Chain A
Amino acid sequence: MNNRFRFDCIGYGLFLGLILLVVPWALDFDGFELNTFARYLTLGMVAMALALSWGGAGILNLGQAATFGLGAYIMAMHLKLKASAHMPDGMPDFMGWTNVESLPWFWEPFHSLPVTILAGFLVPVLLAAVIGIFMFRGRITGVFVAIITLAFLVAIQLVFIEEQRYTGGFNGITGLAPLELFGWSVDNYSLSFYYFVSGCLIAALVLALGLVRSKVGLVLRAIKEDPARVRFFGYDVARYETLAFCASAAIAGWAGMLYVLVLQFASPTYMGVPFSLAIVIWCAVGGRESLVAAALGGIIVNMLEGRLSDLFVDGWTLFLGALFILVVLVMPRGLYGLFQNLLERVTEFYRQARAERRETLASAQSIVSEPTDKGGR
């Protein structure tokens, strides 16, 4: 147990060192490269959000992209309004093209940054709460959760594409103004922006760890194994599941907001089935049981994609598919499981070596006194 905890702490430390020190240094503090890496960090953040519900509570949410996309659109709406200040009525350009008369009421609140940020968390959480209560009160589990979340995702994306007048349709929302935070105009190609994104990731990680390491996390792990048994101890399983689902949505929405800051546009592909299942892939590759591992999975896979897809465009997708099949077949616990097994084997080896040495010592002494039970245990 203590060993396990120490192992985890070393992991956290390495992760912090990696994204705060090693990466900026290795990228030579280059603004463009840092922006690319900040993108990987936000994707790692969604993978972590999924690990919270999937690894933490056994809720396989195939619609994680929906909450991510909501966060992204909310931030994009704010930045679009800022960019459209000089337009007649302050209306976004695409609304003009589709003959929208005046700014729709649900766009109005996003003039305000605090409201936007609040909404970026609360809207995904609200959606998750509704879907969560709906599913978990009905004791929907396993495969059914996967299918229902997937169906919700498809429905939400369809609405966003259909309502072109309000959402930009297929094109999404483009031509955004930079964010202004406490008078700091965010340059998404700067070192300070990189640290802002990594700071957010770390903050989200700390909050999520707080949840996972509290008794809530323990109850959720128990629920993952046997929800019925947990009920007989008086826990309202649906509530715990909904909490995990909502917390995961909050982090995904947060990541979505950051993603728009990094890329400067929002697109309905953020809510697509392929993107949503890609999140599952990252999470599985890193290891669903650990938040940091899942985040690393997101970062590593996307980094590979960034490097490899330059070299061979077509081959990359093929590789990703094959990688995923391989991970599921050969290492279902992901890189995390691989490392843990390795570590356990190493410690076991040392323990045995030490025990053997002690035995030879003991037998050496026993030769002096008298030869007794050699077999031992």
Chain B
Amino acid sequence: MPAGPAARDSRPPGPYVGWISMDAFFNQAFAGLSMASILLMVALGLAIIYGAMGVINLAHGEFVMLGAYSAWLLQTYFGFSILVSLPVVFLMVALIGLAVERGVVRWLYHRPLDTILATWGIGIVLQQLVRMGVGTDSRYVARPTILDGNVVLGGVVMSNYRIFVVVFSIAVLAATWYLLTRTEYGTRLRAVIQNKEISECYGIRSERVYAMTFAYGAGLAGIAGALVTPLVSVTPTMGTYLVVDAFLVVILGGVGSLMGTAVAAGLVGEATALFSFLLNDTLGRVAVLCAIILLIRFMPQGLFPDRVRR
């Protein structure tokens, strides 16, 4: 979450529009973009899992948390930089996701509401396991040294690391899009989403496709978790509220639309930054929540409705 606007009192130099410092405004806009990029990576995993299987994965926040702890673990005990850990973290959390899917979620594909409950239970268990294994203290992970420093554009200060996160999230989006539309696996997945029974008649093992998809979504959450570690402190409960936001992003974007998820993440990130700037952090978040609820109510299909279904 970006820092609140101390700008009004201290009056930093630079151009002004009314009482709004343009520098503060653009700094805030950049903070919003940075938040949106994290949100996008969390929401992307959720969107794939929800879009493909109709599973509301409330343990997704815990996957993020596990990713963060994995990054911390790898740095503390092996001295890995986050950049080096990313593939390892992805695999670790994907494996945990796979275990969760095989162990619990696969029994609930025909009971979507119950997946909310079961995955919440999984979240409790994962959270508690971490608490028992690592403790409840906040953990910190150092930023990779290559990405130290800032880019300064006029009065706007952008840390290299945040820029990296934004670029990386866009790359992840592109990779996911490629995976879903241009590969054999993607074709199979889309076939299963369209009609599971018929796909099975053509020799697609839908069970396997589901498991892979769930693992991939979990892995993405893990990466998101690893990437936020230099920005926020790592705690066992860090994922609980993130999942609510990410879910709103998924639904706002429209089920089954990657583009929608990306746009919604951008909107929510920027809106949160903007409202935080105008009000304060908390009320900004409240305002955004209310705005999202309103949007969902009047556009239940989301910003980018799935055109195939209708």
**Chain A residues engaging chain B, CB cutoff 8 angstroms:** 60, 62, 134-135, 138, 140, 142-144, 146-148, 150-152, 154-155, 158-159, 161-162, 273-274, 277, 280-281, 284, 314, 317-318, 320-325, 328-329, 332
Contact = CB atoms under 8 A, between A and B. Distances in A.
Contacts of A158: 282-283, 285-286, 289
B89 interface: no
B240 A144 contact: no
Contacts of A325: 104, 118, 121-122, 125
A323 B285 CA distance: 33
Given A143-B56, A158-B282, A161-B282, A60 B297 contact: no
Interface string B112-141: 111011101111110111011000000000
Contacts of A332: 111, 114
Nearest to A145: B113
A162 B293 contact: no
Nearest to A148: B293
A138 B300 contact: yes
Contacts of B131: 314, 317
Q: Which 3 residue pairs spanning A and B have beta carbons closest together?
A: A321-B124, A324-B121, A321-B125
Contacts of B289: 151-152, 154-155, 158
Nearest to A141: B300
B244 interface: yes
Contact of A155 (B122, B124, B286, B300): B286
Nearest to B113: A60
B129 A318 contact: yes
Given A60-B116, A147-B296, A273-B241, 6 more contacts: A62-B116, A138-B298, A140-B296, A144-B296, A161-B282, A322-B121
A161 B118 CA distance: 29
Contacts of B251: 144, 147
A277 B112 CA distance: 16
B128 A280 contact: no
A274 B56 CA distance: 17
B290 interface: yes
A150 B243 CA distance: 11
B128 A317 contact: yes
B108 to A, nearest CB: 7
B113 A142 contact: yes
Nearest to B125: A321
B244 A273 contact: yes
A142 to B, nearest CB: 6
Contacts of B58: 277
A320 B128 CA distance: 10
A332 B112 CA distance: 13
A226 to B, nearest CB: 16
A144 B299 CA distance: 12
24 contacts: A60-B113, A134-B297, A138-B300, A143-B56, A144-B251, A144-B296, A146-B56, A147-B247, A147-B248, A150-B244, A152-B293, A154-B289, A155-B286, A158-B285, A158-B286, A159-B282, A277-B120, A280-B117, A314-B128, A314-B131, A320-B124, A328-B121, A329-B118, A332-B111
B202 interface: no
B75 to A, nearest CB: 26
Nearest to B255: A143
A274 B107 CA distance: 24
Contacts of B290: 155
Contacts of A317: 124, 127-128, 131
A329 B108 contact: yes
A270 to B, nearest CB: 16
Contact of A328 (B108, B244, B283): B108
B160 to A, nearest CB: 32
A155 B272 CA distance: 13
A324 B300 CA distance: 30
Contacts of B132: 314, 318
B265 to A, nearest CB: 16
Given A143-B56, A148-B297, A151-B248, A318 B108 contact: no
B211 interface: no
Interface string B232-260: 00000000110010011001000000000
A161 B127 CA distance: 23
Given A60-B116, A154-B289, A155-B289, A318 B128 contact: yes
A133 to B, nearest CB: 11
Contacts of B39: none
A143 B128 contact: no
B154 to A, nearest CB: 33
A63 B251 CA distance: 18
B57 to A, nearest CB: 12
B282 A151 contact: no
B35 interface: no
A329 B110 CA distance: 12
B221 interface: no
A147 B122 CA distance: 18
Nearest to B297: A138
Nearest to A58: B113
Interface string B53-80: 0001010000000000000000000000
Interface in B168-189: none
Contacts of A321: 121-125, 128
Contact of A143 (B104, B113, B244, B298): B113
A140 B247 CA distance: 16
A329 B106 CA distance: 10
B286 A324 contact: no
Contact of B286 (A150, A159, A329): A159
A151 B298 contact: no
B241 to A, nearest CB: 7
A148 B295 CA distance: 11
A135 B297 CA distance: 7
B292 interface: yes
Question: Counting chain A CB atoms within 10 Å of each CB, which of B124, B244, B300 scores highest?
Answer: B124
A58 B124 CA distance: 24
Nearest to B111: A332
